[in-house]
Structure 1
Amino acid sequence: MSDVSQRLQAALSQLLQGHDVGEPVLNAGASEADFIQLEQLTQTRLPEDFKAVYRVFNGQAEVDVYVLDGEEWLSLARMAEEWEVWKDLLDNGTFSDGGKAFSSDAETGIKPVWWSDKWLPFTYDGAGNHLCLDLDPTDEGTYGQVIRMWHDDAERSVEASSFAAWLGDYVTALESGQYVYSDDYGGIVNSDDIIDEDDD
């Protein structure tokens, strides 16, 4: 088991201790056939750092708790489902008007499109928004960088240079106590968000 995967499992176990969330929270690792199936569907090459983690944990199980900052951690099968939703919208011309493609307000390193079929969602917040692997960045970007995309907002931001970097930062934040489990929010969320909600 990779170090970051081990640390993730330990941090989640501690945060979820005493809460009836169902077991197991995380899926067993994906197989090489699983990776090939997703790569063939999306016509992409999955980054090795991403595959290293998914060989240990293939996203989260179907339990009533979101483990990635209030978002579902998608299995490879769920990634395919969400990708196909977006691909259908793209193919149907949803992101264009009169043949002119919609553009996004993309940070440096991200192509300024509304959605690219080389963006693979690995989280889902239940409202159509995702963190994605960007497998078609600009020359200023990095293959496999993590980007945030919104279904109803043009903002597109780079969250980390790689999946490993993003997950490592998240696990460190879990270990430092920045995140807590909340029944009201249905999962593990930033403690500052809960405090801000209470203050409002």
Structure 2
Amino acid sequence: MKKQWETLEAWLKINNPSLLADLNPPASEADIQKLEQELGVKLPTDFVECLKVHNGQRGGASWLFSDSEFLSSQRILDEWAIWKDLLDGGDFDGAEVEPGTGIQPIWWSKKWIPFTYNGAGDHLCLDLDPCCGGRVGQIITLWHDDGARKKKADSFALWFAEFVDKTA
């Protein structure tokens, strides 16, 4: 993870220094513990390693991930809480979904952890609650107004490596 971040940071230094400056410092052990405790999950090691390099971004520059904000541990909790409130309020009852292979046939799971945000209610999530044929920690899409749920990668490490390879 560190090597990929070094590659991306070198590219950002030349091509988008304001975005590089917008990245937060590393998440602390306390930040990670708070995140896991409030979410009620154990986060995948590869994602934790990522947060220990940069704990998301501040939000004062362009977004890092393909027109989506890289969420800090606090922003993850904020976005997750919005979805949890909607779930608890019954907003997803009867909602039709089109899950890809290995993804639960539900609108949202408390074990789908958003780590990007596009400003319109859509996310990429760590799927810590896969269906048979899926993998814990796979990356899936979550659209606020569309029931299509697709797998983007088998793990955060694979997704991030592909992102860095395409970008830098």
> 1:42-72 CA deviation, whole Å, 9 max, x = no partner?
1111000111111011111231311110110
Higher strand share: 1
Find out whether 1:29 has 2:22 as its counterpart.
no
Match of 2:69 in 1: 72
TM-score (normalised: structure 2): 0.95
Q: Structure 1 unaligned runs (5+)?
A: 176-200
Higher Rg of the two aligned structures: 1
More helix by share: 2
Alignment match, 1:167: 160
Taking the aligned partners of 1:107 and 1:62, their CA distance within structure 2 comes to 31
Match in the other structure for 2:55: 58
- What SS does the corresponding residue of 1:24 show, helix, strand or coil? helix
Scaled by the length of structure 1, the TM-score of the pair is 0.80
Deviation of the 1:11 alpha carbon: 2.1
Identity %: 45
- Counterpart CA distance in 2 for 1:50 and 1:134 is 12
Deviation at 1:23, TM superposition (A): 6.6
Question: 1:103: how far off?
Answer: 3.9
Q: Does 1:109 align with 2:102?
A: yes
Q: CA RMSD in A?
A: 1.4
Deviation at 1:27, TM superposition (A): 0.5
* Matched residues, number: 168
- The ranges of structure 1 where at least 4 consecutive aligned residues each deviate by more than 3 angstroms after the TM superposition are none
AA of the residue aligned to 2:8: L
Q: What's the CA shift for 1:7? A: 1.3
1:8 aligns with 2:17: no
